[in-house]
Amino acid sequence: MNKSRALLTGAGVWVWLSLFVMPTPAQNRVAEVIQAPRTLVIAHRGYSGLAPENTLPAFELALSVGVDLVELDTHPSRDGVPMVIHDATLDRTTDAVERWGRTRIPVRAHTANELQALDAGRWFHARYAGTRLPTLLEALQTVRAAGGCVLVECKEGDAETLASLIRAHGFAERVVMQSFNWEFLAAFHTRAPEVQVAALGPPSRLVDGTRPDHRPEGLGPEWLAEARRTGARLVVWSQKHLTRAGVEAAVAQGFRVWAYTANTPEQYEALRRCGVHGIITDHPGRLWRWLALRQWTPEGSP
């Protein structure tokens, strides 16, 4: 291949990536992303397969491969600052046990300044030593600066604080709020109706505050009726409990359906057959490759 042809080929690859992999700023508005006519790639806790989960490096790495949304989790600090961390305790993903000499240390037991003094990267790999726990505000600013959108999972926190933070800093067009606590979702939707909400299921708490004992885990009409009461037009369900019939029932009622957490080609294929609109994964690069190979199989191949 001569030099000019190689340059043209390289340019063609870049154009393809720009069109199909790397979202443009206009496409990054979350309402447009949700309605995209393809499978969305959603990075679970950032690119958590290659970087420490729920940290800025994980978010930046996910954004570098053009994910549609970065998913993250939030718990409040003792002084009420929403922090980005999955667990209610600090043991697994920080050096809190080593630093403070005890176990089962609640996130809520420490101020934001104390939490940000911890190392949240060395547990994953030495190259990430010194990585801090981000505040939710820092995480949202980082993703927005790169033109991205965020799927925020409220693990614990109050609707007023989170709604106020998102509205005050102009994040409404970049955020989807989800939770297993549908009572929280309904309260959040009342306070910030312009923010997209997603009913994450099977839920731990219903809109009226009760626990959903003895209900099926699979997505179906019973759950959809309750999900609508939260204000959601998205349902995010465990890939273990999704069926094509469940997805079709949701679509018939005007919902989009995303699935968590899939990491293998077999899981991706099962979800494709179900008809889901988005896949949450620890390995967004792997999912992009699987989608690209399905889309770009040469004509005449099996």
pLDDT, tens digit, 9 for 90 and up, residues 205-253: 999 999 998 889 999 999 999 999 999 999 999 999 999 999 999 999 9
For residue 236, being part of any structural domain is answered with yes
CATH number for the domain harbouring residue 234: 3.20.20.190
- E strands within 161-225? 175-179, 196-201
For residue 157, being part of any structural domain is answered with yes
For residue 106, being part of any structural domain is answered with no
Q: Express each pLDDT in 23-67 by its tens digit.
A: 444 444 899 999 999 999 999 999 999 999 999 999 999 999 999
For residue 109, being part of any structural domain is answered with no
For residue 110, being part of any structural domain is answered with no
Residue 106 has pLDDT above 60, yes or no: yes
Mean pLDDT of 285-290: 98
Q: Provide, rounded to the nearest whole percent, the portion of the chain with pLDDT above 90.
A: 86
| Tokens 């999912």 -> residue | 287
Look at residue 40 in the predicted model and tell me its pLDDT.
98
Minimum mean pLDDT among 17-31, 93-107, 216-230, 280-294: which range?
A: 17-31
Output the CA torsion 275→280→282→287 (10° steps).
Answer: 40
Look at residue 21 in the predicted model and tell me its pLDDT.
44
Please measure the distance between the N-terminal and C-terminal CA atoms of the chain and give it in whole angstroms. 29
Please tell me the total count of domains within the chain. Answer: 1
For residue 22, being part of any structural domain is answered with no
Look at residue 8 in the predicted model and tell me its pLDDT.
35
Parent domain of 162: 28-88+134-295
Output the CA torsion 11→17→20→26 (10° steps).
Answer: -90
Task: Label residues 134-162 b or e (16+ Cβ within 10 Å = b).
Answer: bbbbbbbebbbeebbbbbbbbbbbbbebb
For residue 285, being part of any structural domain is answered with yes
> What does pTM read for this prediction?
0.89
Look at residue 296 in the predicted model and tell me its pLDDT.
65
For residue 75, being part of any structural domain is answered with yes
CA distances from 166 to 6, 22, 113, 188, 193 (A): 46, 25, 21, 11, 12
Nearest residue to 85 via CA among 139, 130, 160:
139
DSSP per-residue letters across 268-290: HHHHHHHT-SEEEES-HHHHHHH
Look at residue 214 in the predicted model and tell me its pLDDT.
81
